[in-house]
Structure 1
Amino acid sequence: MDPAGGPYLNTKALCSPLGAARLAQLAAGCAAIALVTHGAGAAGPHGAFCMAAWCFCFAMSALLFFLDATRLHSCLPVSWDNLTVTCAALATLLYVTASVLYPLFFVQAECPYAGCQVRNFRIAVSACSVLGTVAYGVEVGLCRARPGQAVVGYMATASGLLKVVQGFVACIIFGALANGSEFSRHGATVYCAAVYGFCFALTAALVATTMCGRTKAVRCMPFERLVVVCTLLEALLYLSASVVWPVFCFDPKYGSPWRDSSCGWGKCPWDSKVAVAALSFLNLALYAADLIYSQRLRFSSSRVLP
């Protein structure tokens, strides 16, 4: 029996809306992986990304569900509430991306395959991915702190969830930078790449600190104030990069304002530069929203380690 005199297993892991959402995540992920393996297929880099996303999320959800059902998470040196909502938010973003990419690159309206079997499998995979997205989104909604509610974990707040989105967008920026963006041609664009890397590292450090329950380890200021200071610094850095990058990529003096018609789709440096510019403005908006929200943020960690 557990210390509270209840059953050894955590029945809330099954008999609760949150438990039902996690079971739906496992079912959708397992179905998507099985269908792809059985006959739908997922060739090429886009298919490999989708398959990796589904496998990663399934493994992560299975581990979290097991730890929650057996109460073994109490033995881990982590803040469980912060860890689970962070994983759910990350999985939601991965599933959203896979739910867009897979049908876009693998599902066709007509039926070019023998007996339409492959197409039907791919439609089923897309449906499972959408259901998984909904299931992870429901978990985020169930765990998210409500206005006027006592906040027990930073990652359950809008500011914490925005940190996950910011890191995810930064990863897409890194992919665009690596896809022939030619950012090393100018010192100014190298500076922008350094800004993206520094802000991602700082955001990841804040998230990791929160998940490890070390929010009281900062002695010079409260953690929520540290979050505001870091977010302001990141917003200012992204503001500078959002100005510098377009100038040195699209001004005729340094780059090209128009796309070269001879460039193939997916292999043109201009496309990568546009993607980086657009995502820079998106992350700038996310950091600005984060800064506005976190001004009045007050929370107490659900578990603080000595």
Structure 2
Amino acid sequence: MTLPRKSSLRAFHSFRFLSLRRSRRPRGFTLVELLVVIAIIGVLVGLLLPAVQQARESARRMQCTSKLKQWALAIHNYENSQGTYPLGTVRLGAVKRQTFVPSLWAELDQVALFEGYNFNRSFYQGENTTSVRTQLNIYFCPSDKQGYWRGDANLRSRGSYVVNFGNGTYHQTESDFSGAPFGPNKVVRPSDIQDGLSKTMFISEILQPSDDSDFDFRGDFLNDDEAGAQFMTRFTPNSGVDSTRCTDHPDDPAPCVAAGGRHLVARSRHAGGVNAAFGDGTVRFMSDSIALPVWQALGSSQGGETDR
């Protein structure tokens, strides 16, 4: 038998090696395949993005709940040391115009602000302007923007958390706030909360206006004027019927209805409701669909109603 020549074998192996190299060379994507991959990625992003956003909002709502608990604890500690709850707002003529916020600074670990504030003067006078201009993280719900008042020379900070002025309106006389845990110049003790601390809302959320430079009072919670530091339970949460000075207020975040009395409902950017802290320190998520009589019962401190 005749054996193949070495040169023939070398040629054969070289041809086979080149053939294998060509066959193993990676093939690129065609345009159609690339478009299919992009489409699949787009579908996956579309499916995952809402879940990611929902998870982020859930985390923000938990942070908001934690902040409300701190406010509720501050109110409780204030009562332990003073024997009364802080006044909702204070107005003694042109002097001593204040809200509940400065009274709670020390309980919120803001001793420097508290000690630098002169409670014998109004929030916009003298040394007090330094304290009211200071923005604190605990002022703001993470789901809402961190607003800052630029409508006047005082540049006071806004906030997301306001106290419960009951079922009425801001322009009620002082005696008409008897059913609310807070009011203007109103002294309240635990014994005055006849409906029970666990069934009386103390503090909830308010949305700040969309434009920092407008004269919307919402969230202007260092100012005792009009309705900056309170919410009312006259209507259910996020119900879209705020009534303040409509000519000065934008439609966002809620319509403004031209009616007398001045009232502000609890509002938030959480889907479906608002957080609210009760007199016993618990925080609950209150649904937008809550029945109005139940909501108003929770807003009253002496009504004898039941929330169940």
Q: Same fold (TM over 0.5)?
A: no
More strand by share: 2
| Higher normalized contact order (CA 8 Å, seq sep 6+, divided by chain length) | 1
Bigger radius of gyration, 1 or 2?
Answer: 2
**TM-score normalized by structure 2?**
0.23
